[in-house]
Amino acid sequence: MTEITAENPQTLEEVPFLILAGGKGTRLGDLTKDVPKPLVDIGGEPFIAHVLRLLKREGVKKVILLTHHLADQIEDFIQDGSKFGLEAAYIKDGPEALGTGAAVKQGLSKVEDCFAVMYADTYLDISMAPVLAAFKSSGLSAMMTVLENANQWLPSNVEYDDENGKIVKYDKKKNTSKMHFLDYGLSFFSKPAFEKHCKSLNNTAFDLGDVFQSMAKKSELAGYAVNRRFYDVSTVESLIETRAYLSQNQLWQIDSSGRAT
């Protein structure tokens, strides 16, 4: 891989995006009975189509879908990614899902060094290139985007030192009074550092949050605060909000009567 210097910065085109797409979407009830969560309808097309167009807009070239539940449907829809102007590859989890961290670990076989991680059920309408630039400037093992939350959307799970640009503590199970931020859902990692922390966990099954916790404890996790909320399709309520947001951005299909579908 080309050496990254101030004169030769890495671009999003060179960074593979690992997209976690294995969840069952149980909170959506019958909507995901026979359809995987990334394929839930938004304006007449699967939600993942909106996500992939967003990544194309930001200059991303390669995506790797980490799948499990109804994985074949996701691959059948996205195929090689060319209809979205992207290159798409797939890694399917085994018979038993081993967690988001283990899924990312499997994805490392398709990356060389720096890589990004996102979730297939979340729409992050931000400029992503500045996050990558900040990660490279930080000199740390990883960077987590965070949103000041104060328990507004979900329980806050990040203690963020904005003066030093570091994540002091991350814990999605034990909220503390110093946690005013939320993991926004876009992260960048160094491959060697991710591998090192996976080994330190010494587990076959683990979540991405376990890796974040390990990195934060060792002061290796940088933070990047964004000020634009996320949209997702994890619950019926958030699905309604996401449909409304994407409608405002004219990403819905319009039926013959002129109404958004």
CB-based contact 125:141 (threshold 8 Å): no
The whole-angstrom separation of Cα 189 and Cα 162 is 19
Beta bridge pairs of residue 158: 170, 181
Do the domains 126-184+191-227 and 13-122+237-256 match in fold?
yes
Topology of the domain comprising 13-122+237-256: Spore Coat Polysaccharide Biosynthesis Protein SpsA; Chain A (3.90.550)
Supply 176's token pair.
Answer: 């503390």
Query: Residue 250 has what pLDDT?
Result: 53
Spell out the domain ranges in the chain. Answer: 13-122+237-256, 126-184+191-227
- As a residue count, the chain comes to 261
Supply 251's token pair.
Answer: 């990403």
Q: What is the pTM of this model?
A: 0.89
Supply 80's token pair.
Answer: 């090689």
Supply 187's token pair.
Answer: 């992260």
The whole-angstrom separation of Cα 80 and Cα 101 is 24
**Widest distance between CA atoms in the chain:** 58
- Three-class SS of the chain: CCCCCCCCCCCHHHCCEEEEECCCCHHHHHHHCCCCHHHCEECCEEHHHHHHHHHHHCCCCEEEEEECCCHHHHHHHHCCCHHHCCEEEEEECCCCCCCHHHHHHHHHHHCCCEEEEEECCEECCCCCHHHHHHHHHHCCCEEEEEEECCCCCCCCCEEEECCCCEEEEECCCCCCCCCCEEEEEEEEEEHHHHHHHHHHHCCCCCCHHHHHHHHHHCCCEEEEEECCCCEECCCHHHHHHHHHHHHHCCCCCECCCCCEC
- 126-184+191-227 to CATH, choices 3.90.550.10, 3.50.30.10, 3.40.50.170, 3.40.50.10860: 3.90.550.10
Per-residue pLDDT of the chain (261 residues; tens, 9 = 90+): 334 444 445 789 999 999 999 988 788 988 888 999 999 999 889 999 999 999 999 999 999 999 998 999 999 999 999 999 999 999 998 777 789 999 999 999 999 999 999 999 999 999 999 999 999 999 999 999 999 987 677 788 999 999 999 999 999 888 888 999 999 999 999 999 999 998 888 778 899 999 999 999 999 999 999 999 999 999 999 999 999 999 876 543 333 333 333
Query: Residue 259 has what pLDDT?
Result: 38
How many other C-beta atoms are found inside a 10 Å radius of the C-beta of residue 233? 30
Query: Residue 152 has what pLDDT?
Result: 76
CA neighbours closer than 13 Å in the CB half-sphere of residue 256: 0
